[in-house]
Amino acid sequence: MSTKKLVFTVPDDCDGMTARVFLRKRADVSTRIITLLKREKDGILRDKKILRTIDVLRAGDVITLNLPEDKSEIIPVEGGLDIIFEDDYLIALDKPASMPVHPTKKHQLDTLANRLAYLQRKRGESYVFRALNRLDKDTSGLVLVAKDKYAATALKNRAFKKYYAVCEGVVTGDGVISSPIRLSDGSKIKRVCAPDGQPAVTHYEALRTYGSHTLLRLWLETGRTHQIRCHMADIGHPLAGDDMYGGSLGIIARQALHCCECGFTHPISGEKVTLGSPLPEDIRAAFPYLCEGID
């Protein structure tokens, strides 16, 4: 089985740390991955020799982790992919509307994950589909996928996303919606704002109003299912095209919601990465005056 190498050099301020403390606190390696690597031949090495987690490190030590390759079990299906960013650890894709992110009972072969599995097979690669953000089927925009366990753990809940949305009604200025969200009674899908729900915080900024619609930019402190859709409906401004939450299908046939930006600190290089995706043509065509000049 092939492996992926992660290499860390122990800095001066970590001299005297045990390997476990360094890996957990400074290299951001999860306990689960450390346990996995301890079982692997040459899983954790120092200067090419076996390193125990109780061993004391010295500044300048080179630590190598040999992550075993994991295999995708998703059925490969040929189809186009819009790749925004890719390296050995991450891939960011621009998902169109009407496509689920990952397979479900009703969608086994028509998802973003199926197409990525096909690309992997074509390249001779194999990794589990680990989406770091999940968009609803009819929400378009950026989806960030980790190619290994380490990148997935290091970036969990740490990627910052922004969205464009068109809502019904006139909204001005900016604001914060902090109503808790839970599953609606009697539904397996729809959410509702309720005091006994999970904490949820949405920030919004009104960019432009035309007629009876407003273009918003939004960003989240939490990542609840349907959070933007539920929160906007709760304040009386459902998204255009979102009939589940009271929006009209008169102008656009899907919720006018698009993940336009994703930012993160790269788990290996430490560099700040910001990725962008322009508004898709269906939202631009439905609301040309709102979207004119918007990237």
Amino acid code (one letter) for 213: H
Question: Burial level of 169, CB count in 10 A (0-12/13-18/19+)?
Answer: middle
Calpha distance 172→289 (Å, rounded): 17
Please name the helix (run of DSSP H) or strand (run of DSSP E) that holds residue 110, with its range, or none.
none
**Main-chain dihedrals φ then ψ at residue 119, nearest 5 degrees:** -60, -40
Calpha distance 81→61 (Å, rounded): 41
Cβ neighbours of 184 (radius 10 Å): 16
Catalytic residues: 136
Residue 248: both structure tokens together: 């009209």
Evaluate whether 76 touches 121 at the Cβ level (below 8 Å).
Answer: yes
Please name the helix (run of DSSP H) or strand (run of DSSP E) that holds residue 128, with its range, or none.
none
* Beta-carbon contacts of residue 146 (< 8 Å; ≥ 6 apart): 89, 90, 130, 132, 152, 155
